[in-house]
Amino acid sequence: MSMVQGQGEPVPSGEQDELRLIVEFYDSLTEEEWIAHDEYAYENPYTVEVLVPKAVLHAVRELVARHEADNPEETAASQAWLERKSDGPGNFPPGWNSERVQRLIAEMEAEEANWTEEDEAELQARMKGKTSLQVPSEIVPAIQALLTQHEAGTVATD
């Protein structure tokens, strides 16, 4: 096993090549293309983003792995959806281009300008000890049950 740089989390040997390919892909993108691909991932109809306490991250990843192993067609469809490309110039996903990215950046900067120190502190407190993770939509109820058990102190943690 090796460590993910900056994360301190072990990466199983079998996943190292996959991780390297992902890093190489994102390294090859322009900043605009990277933003577009990042936002496009949130549009995936097969997955949702969840905020997971790091103490139960391993258990959530196990749920995801079991779901993907039990549902190879859905997993393949989700991956194929993410790998679609736009017909336009650049390495943008469908529906994305430089102009859309620039509009998104402008919207985000406008929102950020209205943030107060209290808003920032609230966000930091909410994120402390947690990580954001894209998971298959179908397992959200199981993850919610796991999180409820964690909050109640009735689930084993890493």
The pLDDT tens digits of the residues spanning 100-118 come to: 999 999 999 998 888 888 9
Predicted TM-score of the model (pTM): 0.72
Domain ranges in the chain?
Answer: 9-152
Which residue did the predictor score with more confidence, 51 or 16? 51
Query: Does the pLDDT of residue 87 top 80, yes or no?
Result: no
Spell out the long-range contacts of 1-5 with Cβ–Cβ below 8 A and sequence spacing 24 or more.
Answer: none
| Cβ-contact 85, 93 below 8 angstroms | yes
3-state secondary structure of 74: helix
Mean pLDDT is lowest, of 20-24, 106-110, 127-131, for 20-24
3-state secondary structure of 136: strand
3-state secondary structure 107-134: HHHHHHHCCCHHHHHHHHHHHCCEEEEE
In the DSSP assignment, the letter for residue 83 is: H
3-state secondary structure 9-45: CEECHHHHHHHHHHHHHHHCCCHHHHHHHHHHHHCCC
Query: Does the pLDDT of residue 5 top 50, yes or no?
Result: no
pLDDT at 24 (0 to 100): 87
Average the pLDDT over 131-143 and give the result. Answer: 93
Which residue did the predictor score with more confidence, 4 or 46? 46
d(CA 150, CA 12): 25
Query: Does the pLDDT of residue 84 top 60, yes or no?
Result: yes
d(CA 111, CA 27): 28
Residue type, 131: T
